[in-house]
């Protein structure tokens, strides 16, 4: 089968199309014919060797954690899936024509969404949902600022916060203002022309995607006792941020996304009911994987990008 192989850590060009053997499943797995794979910033960090998981990665490796596709083979112990089921989920090694997975990692795809949309949701959706609900514990009437609100995680976090009944501020460039308004953002802040701390004040929570000075400024507009989720793992335990937060009694949280089938099933339900939308900015071909990684590293993606596998 065709697969994108990483033989050595480095720039996007380190990803090369190659041929390897199709996975052989055990009794507790399914074999998925991959239709599309989502691209996430963490993929680029792993590829470059900068992510903590890179240390334990055996090369050559197949990257990718988001998958959508069709079940082609079912292990004898699998009860909830059958051959031909359309699924999506979070599975390691999705940059390939086939991938094996346990039943706990996948859910059935709603008929009303495309394979591209399905492939875009798992990692970003789990990251956003866990930030809003598990860590920030957003409740009705609370005020939250979501940085990079039009991004892959951001545009989903906006929707989860609105479903929870929060008042949402979101930062974005002017070109994404209408998109965020459609998602329900109560006040869109053009970060190129406006200072968010002059507009969003007295906050209960912040979802930070930047770290550094942006995080420091955000700490000052959160109410004592409030929380900030910091997504860039590279900023973990920033001593300046920790000191500022301690002075204001703000809790800083650097989360690690956790697999969660129940949450994936919730996404499937919300997508099927059209109460959740996932924006696919662009679909790349398997031969354009280098361009896909260059795009994700540009930091200018609105929504998600996806690679069509077959």
Q: Report the CATH number at residue 243.
A: 3.40.50.720
For residue range 151-191, list pLDDT tens digits in order: 999 999 999 999 999 999 999 999 999 999 999 999 999 99
Assess if residue 272 is contained within a domain. no
Tokens of 122: 């798992």
Residue 51 has pLDDT above 90, yes or no: no
Assess if residue 134 is contained within a domain. yes
Q: What pLDDT, on the 0 to 100 scale, is given for residue 141?
A: 97
- Tokens 């099927």 locate to 272
Q: Report the CATH number at residue 109.
A: 3.90.180.10
Tokens of 32: 């998925």
Q: What is the phi/psi pair of residue 65, to 5°?
A: -125, -15
Residues spanned by the domain of 25: 2-121+278-308
Assess if residue 234 is contained within a domain. yes
- Residues 49-73 have a mean pLDDT of 92
The reported pTM is: 0.96
For residue range 103-146, list pLDDT tens digits in order: 999 999 999 999 999 999 999 999 999 999 999 999 999 999 99
Q: What pLDDT, on the 0 to 100 scale, is given for residue 10?
A: 95
Closest CA to 303 of 174, 164, 180: 180
Q: Which residues contact 247 (CB under 8 A, 6 or more apart)?
A: none
Residue 54 has pLDDT above 90, yes or no: no
| Together in a domain, 75 and 168 | no
* Range name among 100-109, 163-172, 259-268, 299-308 with the lowest pLDDT average: 299-308
Percent of the chain's residues with pLDDT above 90: 93
What is the domain count for the chain?
A: 2
| Together in a domain, 82 and 10 | yes
């Amino acid at each position: 089968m065709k697969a994108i192989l990483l033989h050595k850590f480095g720039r996007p060009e380190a990803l090369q199309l190659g041929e390897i053997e199709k996975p052989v499943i055990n009794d507790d797995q399914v074999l998925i014919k991959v239709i599309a794979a989502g691209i996430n910033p963490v993929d680029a960090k792993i590829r470059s060797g900068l992510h903590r998981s890179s240390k334990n990665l055996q090369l050559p490796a197949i990257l990718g954690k988001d998958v959508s596709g069709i079940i082609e083979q079912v292990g004898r112990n699998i009860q909830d899936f059958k051959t031909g089921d359309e699924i999506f989920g979070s599975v390691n090694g999705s940059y390939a024509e086939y991938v094996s997975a346990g039943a706990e990692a996948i859910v059935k795809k709603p008929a009303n969404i495309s394979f591209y949309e399905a492939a875009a949701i798992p990692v970003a959706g789990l990251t956003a949902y866990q930030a809003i609900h598990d860590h920030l514990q957003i409740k009705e009437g609370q005020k939250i600022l979501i940085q990079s609100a039009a991004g892959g995680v951001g545009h989903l976090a906006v929707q989860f916060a609105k479903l929870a009944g929060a008042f949402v501020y979101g930062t974005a460039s002017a070109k994404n203002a209408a998109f965020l308004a459609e998602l329900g953002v109560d006040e869109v802040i053009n970060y190129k022309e406006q200072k968010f701390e002059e507009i969003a004040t007295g906050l209960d929570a912040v979802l930070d995607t930047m770290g550094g000075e942006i995080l420091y400024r955000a700490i000052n507009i959160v109410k004592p006792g409030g929380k900030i989720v910091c997504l860039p793992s590279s900023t973990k335990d920033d001593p300046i941020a920790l000191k500022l937060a301690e002075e204001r009694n703000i809790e800083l949280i650097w989360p690690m996304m956790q697999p969660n089938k129940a949450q994936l099933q919730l996404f499937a339900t919300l997508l099927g009911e059209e109460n959740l939308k996932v924006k696919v900015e662009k679909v790349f071909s398997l031969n354009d994987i280098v361009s896909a990684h260059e795009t994700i590293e540009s930091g200018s993606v609105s929504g998600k990008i996806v690679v069509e596998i077959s």
